[in-house]
Structure 1
Amino acid sequence: MRTESAAAAAEVERTRSTSLRYLNLFRLLMAGLFLVAGRDLGLGGERPLVFQVAAFAYLGLVLALGFPDASRRLGAERVIVLQVLVDVLALSVIMWASGGYRSGMPVLMMIVLAGAGLVMEGRMVLFFAALATLAVLIENAWRHAAGSDSVDFLQVGIFCAGFFGIALVARLLALRAKANATLAAERGLALAKQQAVSEHIIRDMQDGVIVVDAQGRILHLNAQAIALLGLTHSSAEALEGLALADLDEGFRPILQGALGDEGRLLRIGADGRLLRCRSVAGEAGSAAAGDTLLYLTDFEDIQRHLQQIKLAALGRLTASMAHEIRNPLSAVTQAAELLREEKRGEMQLRLVRIINDNAHRIERMIRDVLALGRREQAMPEALPLAAFVAEVIDARVFRAAQEEGLYHVDIDPGLTFAIDRAHLHQVLDNLLANASRYCSGAPGSVRLSAELLAGGRAALHVSDDGPGFDEAMRAQLFEPFFTTHPKGTGLGLYIARELAEANDATLELAPSTQGAHLVLTGRTTP
């Protein structure tokens, strides 16, 4: 804070020095004019010799006190006081030698007092106004006593009152200008510091930042954006002013406003790196109005970090699965023992069913654990969405006849969805399993629809008329091991979202007034 105050004071002092320099230039011009053209202007008519001596002396003192050496020797404040004293005294002598107040010297005194009020500190300017008033009154009183000329004391009084008025106004303006200059200097320093901090943050932040104008031309990009796009600093300098779409075709959907709040996964740049792109428009009325800020995040790095998290979660899961597997295995073992002792066929069938149910439960747990720990490489293809959904529904109805008539499908037969076939089957089967488990069971209680979005993307909607999710459940819905089903593992929706992101798609829970509504969004072409 002290540094900022000192810098502000230095700025104010520079402004004051500039004003004093202009005032000294005015004094020099005035003294030179007296000496060169004083007689032509009607000055010194009553006492020519006095006028000549006063003009020469005034010019010499102006030159002597105006050099920077005088300020270094005597001090700036003392030099200013001496300069104003010389101005008042010299103008008073010239006024006496030139016929009194009618010579115009009081007007020049007002100018000098106004300049003194702007550059001086303290209340010395009132002293100089009083000195000028006393000089004018003495000169006119002497002239009246000598009877050499008539004196208009009303006009003289107006001049004297003007001296004090101009001195006060100039002093108040100087104080206000000083306060404004100090405030402006402090705010300028604070703004410069804030700008330096902002530039440092943008330079060192992990996300890439690209600023484009309303026409899509690049205005600025930080070092991380240069690295993510596979560029060099020399080539990046040439990019400013270039159209963003010319840099990479993948940026076109961004400029068309097709990004949501969560952004979109795109492969952009020379290296084809998978980036999460998010755009933010400049606020109306601000300096950035009409500009767009594009944030680029290295999603491959996020995937590596998530893989580490999944491995840690898998370790915790294996520690807890010993207890989970022990219960069904105990039931299987006990049923096997009883089956060996039991002779009746009906009891054998019951025990065999118990063994099969628990064996299937163990197999499902192991399959989910394997899916959690390993993500297979996606091989997306443009799948006819309506036909593929019909195949998945037919397979489910074949396994569970009670689901027949449960699904209502409204999908354009020509709509495609770019995704790995096996991944889409697993995601869709999981969504339909959850919807059929919690819906009312009435015909058409599970609804599937699709729509074509801007930017070559499509959205598949799966909704039901069940109880839906409260706010607490919505926050945990896609977390691993979270489930409301007594026999569930809590990995279904988590794995479904992972598979969707592996195909540059998103799986989100949409707002709904009744039941659950999940939306799978992706590209229509690979």
Structure 2
Amino acid sequence: MPLLPYSYTRSANLNYPATFWRSLLLFNVYRMVVASILMIAALSFQMKGDTDLDLQPGSLITIVSAYWLFSLVAFGTIRARWPMFNVQLSVQVSVDIIIMVTLMYLNGGIRSGLGLLLMPYLAAAGLISRGRMTLFHAAIASIGVLAEQTLRMLLQENNATDFGQPVLLSIGYFATAWLGYRLAQHATESEKVALQRGIDLANLAQINQLIIQDMPDGVIVIDEKGVIRSRNQQADRLLGPPPFRERLTLSDYLPELELAAKGWLEGHTQGDLVLKTNSGKQIHPRFVPIAANRAAGAVIFIEDVHRQQALAQQMKLAALGRLTANIAHEIRNPLSSIGHAAELLSEDKSDPLTVKLTRIIRDNTRRLDGMVQDILQLNRRDRAQPEQIRLAGFLDSFIEELSQAERIPANCIDIQIEETLVVGFDRNHLHQILWNLTRNAWRYCKQAQGSIRILARHDGNQGWIDVTDDGPGVPPEHRAKLFEPFFTTDDSHGSGLGLYIAREVAAANHASLDYVAKKSGATFRLTCRIWQ
């Protein structure tokens, strides 16, 4: 078991932070001030020639001078941080105790009152060491005071009566040391709490920064003078990169936005303000005050109008899909009844007009039934069961089936595919998508040899299938609406749901279906995952 309550190791010395050494330096400043005051007092006694002192002024000056030189040397050791922290503190406090006990002995003992000077030393030492060595130092001081009184009694000096006052002084040392220990412990706990709160605040600030950076809207924070204090990357994307300047303002991004911010800070209502950036984007700024008073600054949320419109369109399409699915369920039964009645009427061949009207009813009934089936497939698009599909074999059987069902000559479809290409896709969904694309291509192509070309390749972890025809292609004004429900350029045949359903089914398989603009013909590309 170690004799001392602390460790004199190099690792322990390195673990002490700079604040400990700074406190030790201030403690030494106090020591030098006390030594200087004692030096002035000794010189004053010498100049007055005071003969009432038990100690000659010359001897007092020698002891105090040595103490002053020790404090001066301590500045160098503290600056060099050698020897180790605990060693320096114990040595310095021990010297303080020896000097004060010596002066107390040579100046009349306990009655001189010099023993009280040790209490500030013990309290300061306890605070500096954070309570680790406080009681140890108090014990050394108590031993020194009691030893001084014992020496006087052994020498049978007249002023050495009993141990009452030294014991009370020792109790005061321990009380002071205990108070310093408690204060140091409280300071340590407060420091830990402050450090943890600082870490929590830093983590919270980092989390807030990550959230702000990942927000789909641009965020700009301005102060009362309109100077930008913070912004996220989305704000730069929407407004454009700002100039390289130390203090950015809103005018560096968009002068109209600065005017709107000034009006808002003055209390004006902006309403549904829409601004146009230098890049042509439309934005909607929304101002939120930082404090109760608008003049303190604002947080500006910059919303992309195009994105808002796209979200509104998606919500509209989702609601439309649910509505049409419900309607399809309701009209399926009466539609079946109409179709069955038309079949019965077609058995009567006596009246040519009846036969013609019956055929019209039957054809349109089948067309409506096809639309109902397409709509109902939307509810089953999320039931994808991806499997390993080798495209070479799959497309061979697909073309054979398509040629028989749609009466398409096999030589009109040219297939170019990598033999080893394998994708992960729901087999029925892939069949449905390619059937829709190929049938549309046959409808608009020249219907000659090689008019339809199916090309399958892969690039890294993605594979893609292109279905291309040699027709007139899709006009530029129609390309943005190709995948919208009920959009069609052929009212006599199309329902306007084929491409919309094909894209939805592709998305259910984590794939994408897009139109690829080329100089001639129409090309639709299905991008999917390679099976691994």
TM-score (norm 2): 0.50
Q: How far apart are residue 117 of structure 1 and its match?
A: 0.7
Name the structure, 1 or 2, with higher relative contact order (CA <8 Å, separation 6+).
Answer: 1
CA drift of 1:171 comes to: 1.2
Q: 2:24 matched to 1:20?
A: yes
Candidates 23, 32, 37, aligned match of 1:33: 37
Is the CA contact 2:35–2:68 (under 8 Å) kept in the aligned structure 1?
yes
Corresponding residue of 2:53: 45
Paired position in structure 1 for 2:198? 188
Equivalent position of 1:114 in the other structure: 123
Query: Do the aligned partners of residues 55 and 179 (structure 1) sit closer, same or farther apart at CA in structure 2, a change above 3 Å counting?
Result: same
Could you tell me which runs of 5 or more consecutive residues in structure 2 were left unpaired when the two chains were aligned.
Answer: 1-12, 376-483, 487-494, 498-532
**1:40 to partner: Cα distance:** 2.6
Cα displacement (A) at 1:89 = 0.4
Q: Which amino acid aligns with 1:93?
A: T
Secondary structure of the corresponding residue to residue 17 of structure 2: helix
Report the residue type matching 1:269 in the other structure.
Answer: T
Q: How does 1:442-453 map to 2 (within 5 A)?
A: none
Q: What's the counterpart of residue 61 of structure 1?
A: 70
1:55 to partner: Cα distance? 1.6
2:36 is aligned with what amino acid? G
Amino acid at match of 1:46: D
Larger Rg: 2
Match of 2:96?
Answer: 87
In the alignment, the residues of structure 2 paired with residue 169 and residue 265 of structure 1 have an alpha-carbon distance, to the nearest angstrom, of 65
**Counterparts of 1:274 and 1:335, CA distance in 2:** 57
- Where 2:221 maps in the other structure, the secondary structure is strand
Counterpart contact for 2:223–2:296, Cα < 8 Å: yes
Aligned length: 352
Are 1:270 and 2:251 counterparts?
Answer: no
1:296 and 2:302 equivalent?
A: yes
Q: Determine the structure 2 residue equivalent to 1:101.
A: 110
Mapped to 2, the partners of 1:176 and 1:23 lie a distance apart of 20
Q: CA RMSD in A?
A: 5.7
For the residue of structure 1 that corresponds to 2:178, the secondary structure is: helix
The CA deviation at 1:184 is: 1.8
Tell whether the 8 Å contact from 2:93 to 2:125 is kept in structure 1 after alignment.
yes
Q: Which of residues 162, 168, 179 in structure 1 aligns to 2:189?
A: 179
State, as a whole percentage, how many aligned pairs show the same letter: 27
Alignment partner of 2:175 out of 162, 165, 175: 165
Distance apart, 1:280 and its partner CA: 4.8
Alpha-carbon distance in 1 for matches of 2:251, 2:196? 34
The Cα offsets for residues 310-334 of structure 1, whole Å up to 9 and x where unpaired, read as 999999x9xxx9x98x958984993
In the alignment, is residue 132 of structure 1 matched against residue 136 of structure 2? no
- Per-residue deviation, residues 446-504 of structure 1 (Å, max 9, x unmatched): xxxxxxxxxxxxxxxxxxxxxxxxxxxxxxxxx989xxxxxxx9x9xxxxxxxxxxxxx
Are the aligned partners of 1:95 and 1:103 in contact in 2 as well (CA < 8 Å)? yes
| Partner Cα distance (2:156, 2:77) in 1 | 44
More deviation, 187-196/215-224: 215-224
| Residues 1:210 and 1:257: Cα distance change in structure 2 (over 3 Å) | farther
Q: Against the structure 1 CA distance between its residues 279 and 480, is the aligned structure 2 distance closer, same or farther, given a 3 Å change threshold? A: farther
Change (3 A) 1:101 1:282: same
1:29, distance to aligned residue in structure 2 (A) = 1.9
Query: How many angstroms apart in 1 are the aligned matches of 2:227 and 2:360?
Result: 68
CA change 1:277–1:352 in 2 (3 A) is farther
Amino acid aligned to 2:192: T
Instruction: Indicate the SS of the match to 2:274.
Output: strand
342 and 28 in structure 1: CA distance in 2 versus 1, 3 angstrom threshold: farther
Shift of 1:94: 1.1
Given the superposition, is the C-alpha separation of residues 41 and 131 from structure 1 closer, same or farther in structure 2, using an over 3 Å criterion? farther
Equivalent residues of 2:285, 2:303 under 8 A apart? yes
**With structure 1 as the length reference, what TM-score do the two structures score?**
0.51
Counterpart Cα distance in 1 of 2:485 and 2:85: 76
2:34 aligned partner, one-letter code: M
Amino acid across the alignment from 2:306: E
What is the 5 A alignment of 1:475-494?
Answer: none
For residues 245 and 156 of structure 2, what CA distance do their matches in structure 1 show? 88
Q: Letter of the aligned partner of 1:294 in structure 2?
A: I
